């Protein structure tokens, strides 16, 4: 009896047994059972007998034979497959032939793949394109594929557009995909939705679920004409598209409506709102995904069948309308849904998973709701399903026509944030009356605002965001991606990143990965062995030390931005004699050696002056200025360095207009040094001699209407000679943290005097390796 276990046993024990098993088999079902259950084939598997099945009369046998032949790239006979392709009539077999040839990833197969591009079957063209895209740097391939952006088939066009023409548009904000603005969270605005949306930033909403007002079917929705009604909804959903995150969803609940007849001599008018609105949405960047039918009990809807029940005359049939449509759209994007899902950390994903009992069909049987205030209330169950199926915890859910606010209350109960707009004051006040007191979690309190209050809040938040972003470092300097260099000590190793199994990379490779606080997941495969490893993310040096120059204000902005994270620049995957690949970090800096030359640039961040001002001592503290120097290793251990710099006691770490009133002091220092230094692991230390010139000023600012007068009361310029001590901690390849102590003992005047003074400053130091013996220039 044929079983999967028996086939597996034959496959690994003796290839000839499988050949003998099915070569004389006449039952098509048995042949297909064996071929479909061969699975992964060992390297020494003999596939010669499979070529005999390429002439089989049954198309499924030919298809399974091609699939198994395609698993053995090094033994695949391209000519035999191509000859079968030319005479094959079954399109599924032809597609599998193209796929098998493309998976070989051999340059000599490119002419064949070019030939497949001319096939009339668009799926075969797509398979050929897939096989050619592995040669991503080949100009000849690009020249063949680019013209297919004008191919008549939309699937072919989309592939070529994504590969060669789609630009990775940078968002105007630096929010990560899973985040939104605090000033939009749990807010209800009483105003026209189009006026409100003018102040909502792009890419800030995760899900929109709404039921637009029905055309002239309710007292609150009177429009001059049906066309103007559709034009209004088009404007709303164009703006909704702008504020929606890339690849996220819009669900519109509508149904055809009837405008009653004026008199018995006139006909009523029925408008198919969901069908008429659909072309406007697709035209403006929404991709249609699904149609969900909301099925209501017949007893809950208006009776239209009564007249027909009495006369039963043909043409008079009017069924009771027990359904409404939930039309599901997604903001058009070249990215797959997996990209959206990977934007959330594992904890959020786990907590957002839909529990058992979810709806499996596109027909949702839900009872409608009725309310004394609002005549068309969303059922909570309807909101609950949409929110759970199309959003994650802490996402922002938007309803431009909020009505009684059911969506907002349901979103809050499901640990989502909501943003609602409602023009009708009666409904706005009704929502306020439903507000429950909340004193524990301030971010969960609902804020009810007028348009002016909302506008002022947005402007203030935008100003605050601009201020914080301007002072941040990782947000400004770092790209959203960082390059990771992955290598292995073995051949034929392939990897893919973060579950992106469609994009395999053969090692060695350089990959741009999105910065994230999540670990970098690397799936590694060699031969039949496949394992997973994880690389921990860490805060970048730019985040930790770049923000020191802004009194730490930049940390506030950077802490909300995934651009602060990074991964190791080089990852080595070790397969030798190990069951699980090991992650071996490489040294991130090279040891000093004789002949090494470094250029140094520094930013003094905390400058302390203790000065002999001629009539006593004075001290001052401030920030700024610049230092620069050279460092030359005259042996493998010791170096000679010289530095020049200037220090001031400016009160802020960045320029700002500051006015003084009354008495104040100013101090400056210029210095030069020569030192001998050495290294111990991450530490570098120097000692030597230094010369500095210090300037001390006592000034007074007097307010004399209408201007200020600055008076110099006392000044002293002094040249000093002393010692220089410096210690640096190597944070990264180029970035160092330093502490410098320059005590002076000799004042150089006509008659030199012995007086103590010192300069003490903390320093952000950058060391660039410009020359290393036996290597090219490195900077």
Q: Are 128 and 119 in contact (CB under 8 A)?
A: yes
Three-class SS state of 304: coil
Task: Supply the pLDDT for residue 182.
Answer: 86
Segment of 47-51, 521-525, 625-629, 659-663 carrying the highest mean pLDDT? 625-629
Least confident of 22-26, 88-92, 420-424, 536-540: 22-26
Query: Is the torsion defined by CA of 78, 81, 84, 85 positive or negative?
Result: negative
Beta-sheet pairing, 286-295 with 363-365 = parallel
**How many other C-beta atoms lie within 10 A of the C-beta of residue 260?**
8
pLDDT at 381 over 80: yes
pLDDT band at 652 (very low <50, low <70, confident <90, very high): low
Split at pLDDT 50, 70, 90, the class of 373 is low
Q: Which residues pair with 765 in a beta bridge?
A: 602, 736
Contact, 512 vs 595, CB < 8 A?
no
Predicted confidence (pLDDT) at residue 708 exceeds the cutoff of 50:
yes
Categorize the per-residue pLDDT at 234 as very low, low, confident or very high, splitting at 50, 70 and 90. very high
DSSP of 498-560, one letter per residue? TT-TT--EESSEEEEEE--SSPEEEEEEETTEEEEEEE--EE-HHHHHHGGGGTTHHHHHHTT
List, in sequence order, every residue forming a beta bridge with 98; answer none if it has no partner.
none
How far, CA to CA in Å, does 111 sit from each of 149, 262, 731?
A: 20, 70, 52
Lowest mean pLDDT among 175-179, 576-580, 721-725: 576-580
Q: Tell me the mean pLDDT in the region 264-283.
A: 86
* Most confident region among 250-254, 548-552, 678-682 by mean pLDDT: 250-254
Nearest-angstrom CA–CA distance, 596 and 589? 13
Beta carbons of 593 and 636 less than 8 angstroms apart: yes
Please give the pLDDT value at position 376: 60
Query: Region 339-346: what's the mean pLDDT?
Result: 89
Choose the weakest-confidence range: 128-142, 365-379, 748-762: 365-379
Q: Which residues are CB-contacts of 266 (< 8 A; sequence separation ≥ 6)?
A: none
Cα separation of 516 and 536, whole Å?
A: 10
Residue 168 has pLDDT above 60, yes or no: no
- Supply the pLDDT for residue 441: 47
pLDDT at 247: 93
Mean pLDDT of 249-263: 84
Q: Measured between alpha carbons, how far is 390 from 547 in angstroms, rounded to an integer? A: 38
Encode pLDDT of 211-224 as tens digits. Answer: 998 876 555 567 88
The DSSP code for 732 is S
Output the DSSP codes for 366-382: ---B--SS-SSBPPHHH
Give the pLDDT score at 26.
82
Q: What is the pLDDT of residue 265?
A: 65
The SS3 call for residue 607 is strand
Q: What is the pLDDT of residue 640?
A: 96
Name the H helices within 369-498.
380-390, 406-413, 425-433, 451-471, 474-477
Q: Helix/strand/coil (H, E, C) string of 84-144? A: HHHHCCCHHHHHHHHHHHHCCCCHHHHHHHHHHCCCCCHHHHHHHHHHHCCCCCCHHHHHH
Say whether 151 sits in a helix, a strand or coil: coil
Q: Residues 541-553: pLDDT tens digits?
A: 777 766 665 555 6
Interstrand relation of 538-539 and 509-514 (parallel, antiparallel or unpaired): unpaired
Tell whether the torsion through CA atoms of 18, 19, 22 and 28 is positive or negative: positive
**Residue 285 Rama label (left phi>0; alpha psi -120 to 50; beta):** left
The structure's pTM equals: 0.56
310 burial class (0-12, 13-18, 19+ CB within 10 angstroms)?
A: exposed
State the average pLDDT over residues 403-409. Answer: 90
Span 12-18, mean pLDDT? 70
Rounded to whole angstroms, the Cα distance separating 596 from 530 reads 43
Mind spelling out the 3-state secondary structure of 171-224? CCCCCCCCCCCHHHCCEEEECCHHHHHCCCCCCCEEEEEECCCCCCCCCCCCCC
Angle ∠(202,208,214) on CA atoms, nearest 5? 120
CB 730 within 8 A of CB 736: yes
Q: Is the pLDDT of residue 367 over 90?
A: no
Q: What is the pLDDT of residue 418?
A: 95
**78-87, 129-138, 234-243 — most confident range:** 234-243
**Best-predicted range by mean pLDDT among 184-193, 448-457, 470-479, 551-560?**
184-193
| pLDDT single digits (tens) 591-648 | 888 999 999 999 888 888 988 887 788 888 887 788 999 999 999 899 999 999 999 8
For residue 364, pLDDT over 50 is answered with: yes
Beta strands 582-585; 597-612: pairing state: unpaired
User: How large is the average pLDDT for residues 133-153?
Assistant: 87
Cα–Cα nearest to 583, from 488, 519, 482, 496: 488
Spatial contact of 34 and 60, defined as CB atoms under 8 Å apart: no
Q: How far apart are CA 496 and CA 477, in angstroms?
A: 27
Q: What is the percent of the chain with per-residue pLDDT over 70, rounded to a whole number? A: 87
Given the structure tokens 């001998």, which residue do they identify? 676
Give the pLDDT confidence score for residue 42 in this predicted structure: 81
Nearest to 396 by CA among 405, 408, 386: 408
Query: Model confidence over 83-97: pLDDT tens digits?
Result: 899 899 898 999 999
Please state, in angstroms and rounded to a whole number, the distance separating the CA atoms of residues 509 and 5.
38
Q: Of 300-314, 558-572, 653-667, where does mean pLDDT reach its minimum? A: 653-667
CA-based nearest residue to 72, from 108, 40, 95, 37: 40
At 171 the pLDDT is 46
Q: How far apart are CA 274 and CA 164, in angstroms?
A: 35
């Amino acid at each position: 009896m044929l079983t999967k276990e028996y086939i597996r046993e034959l496959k690994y024990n003796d290839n000839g047994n499988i050949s003998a098993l099915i070569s004389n088999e006449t039952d098509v079902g048995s042949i297909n059972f064996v071929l479909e259950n061969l699975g992964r084939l060992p390297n020494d598997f003999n596939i010669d007998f499979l070529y005999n099945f390429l002439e089989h009369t049954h198309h499924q046998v030919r298809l399974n034979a091609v699939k198994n032949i395609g698993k053995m790239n090094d033994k695949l006979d391209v000519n035999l497959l191509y000859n079968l392709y030319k005479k094959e009539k079954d399109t599924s077999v032809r597609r599998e032939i193209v796929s098998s040839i493309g998976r070989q990833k051999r340059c000599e197969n490119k002419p064949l793949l070019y030939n497949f591009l001319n096939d009339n079957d668009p799926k075969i063209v797509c398979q050929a394109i897939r096989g050619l895209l592995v040669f991503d740097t080949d100009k000849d391939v690009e020249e063949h594929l680019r013209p297919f952006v004008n191919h008549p088939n939309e699937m072919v066009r989309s592939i070529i557009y994504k590969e060669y023409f789609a630009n990775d548009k940078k968002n105007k904000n630096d929010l990560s995909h899973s985040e939104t603005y605090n000033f939009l969270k749990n807010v209800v605005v009483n105003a026209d939705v189009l006026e409100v949306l003018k102040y909502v930033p792009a890419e800030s909403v995760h899900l929109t679920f709404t039921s637009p007002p029905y055309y002239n079917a309710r007292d609150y929705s009177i429009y001059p004409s049906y066309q103007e009604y559709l034009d209004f909804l088009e404007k709303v959903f164009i703006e909704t598209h702008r504020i929606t995150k890339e690849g996220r969803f819009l669900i519109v609940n509508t149904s055809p409506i009837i405008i009653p007849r004026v008199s018995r001599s006139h006909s009523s008018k029925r408008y198919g709102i969901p069908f008429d609105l659909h072309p406007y949405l697709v035209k403006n960047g929404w991709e249609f995904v699904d149609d969900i039918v909301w099925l209501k009990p017949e007893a809950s809807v208006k009776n239209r069948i009564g007249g027909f029940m009495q006369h039963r005359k043909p043409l008079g049939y009017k069924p009771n309308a027990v359904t409404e449509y939930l039309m599901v759209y997604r903001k058009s994007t070249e990215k797959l849904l997996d990209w959206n899902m990977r934007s959330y950390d594992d904890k959020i994903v786990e907590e957002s998973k839909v529990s058992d009992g979810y709806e499996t069909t596109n027909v949702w049987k839900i009872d409608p709701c009725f309310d004394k205030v609002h005549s068309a209330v969303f059922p909570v169950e309807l909101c609950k399903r949409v929110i759970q199926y199309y959003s994650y915890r802490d996402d922002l859910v938007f309803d431009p026509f909020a009505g009684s606010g059911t969506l907002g209350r349901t979103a809050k109960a499901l640990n989502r944030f909501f943003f609602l707009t409602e023009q009708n004051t009666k409904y706005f006040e009704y929502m306020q009356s439903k507000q429950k007191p909340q004193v524990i979690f301030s971010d969960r309190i609902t804020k009810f605002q007028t348009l002016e209050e909302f506008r002022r809040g947005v402007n203030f938040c935008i100003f605050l965001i601009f201020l914080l972003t301007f002072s941040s470092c990782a947000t400004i300097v770092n790209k959203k991606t960082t390059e990771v260099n992955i290598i292995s000590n073995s051949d034929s190793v392939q990897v893919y990143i973060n579950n992106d199994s469609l994009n395999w990379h053969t090692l060695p490779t350089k990959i741009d990965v999105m910065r994230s606080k999540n670990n970098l997941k690397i799936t590694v495969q060699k031969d039949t062995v496949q394992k997973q490893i994880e690389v921990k993310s860490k805060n970048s040096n730019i985040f930790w030390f770049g923000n020191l120059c802004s009194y730490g204000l930049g940390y506030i902005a950077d802490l909300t931005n995934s651009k602060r994270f990074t991964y190791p620049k080089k990852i080595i995957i070790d397969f030798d004699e190990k069951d699980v690949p090991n992650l071996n970090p490489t040294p991130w800096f090279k040891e000093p050696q004789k002949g090494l030359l470094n250029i140094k640039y520094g930013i003094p961040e905390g400058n302390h002056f203790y000065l002999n001002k001629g009539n006593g001592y004075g001290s001052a503290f401030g920030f700024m200025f610049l230092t620069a120097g050279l460092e030359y290793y005259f042996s493998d251990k010791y170096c000679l360095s010289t530095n020049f710099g200037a220090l001031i006691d400016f009160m802020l770490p960045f320029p700002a207009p500051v006015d003084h009133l009354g008495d104040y002091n100013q101090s400056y220092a210029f210095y030069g040094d020569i030192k001998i230094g050495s290294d111990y692991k991450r530490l570098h230390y120097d000692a030597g001699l230094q010369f500095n010139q210090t300037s001390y000023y006592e000034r007074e600012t007097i307010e004399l209407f209408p201007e200020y007068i600055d008076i110099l009361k006392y000044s002293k310029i002094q040249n000093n000679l002393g010692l220089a001590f410096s210690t640096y901690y190597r944070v990264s390849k180029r970035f160092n943290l330093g502490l410098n102590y320059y005590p002076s003992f000799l004042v150089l005047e006509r008659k030199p005097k012995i007086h103590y003074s010192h300069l003490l400053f903390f320093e952000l130091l950058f060391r660039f390796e410009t020359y290393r013996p036996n290597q090219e220039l490195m900077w």
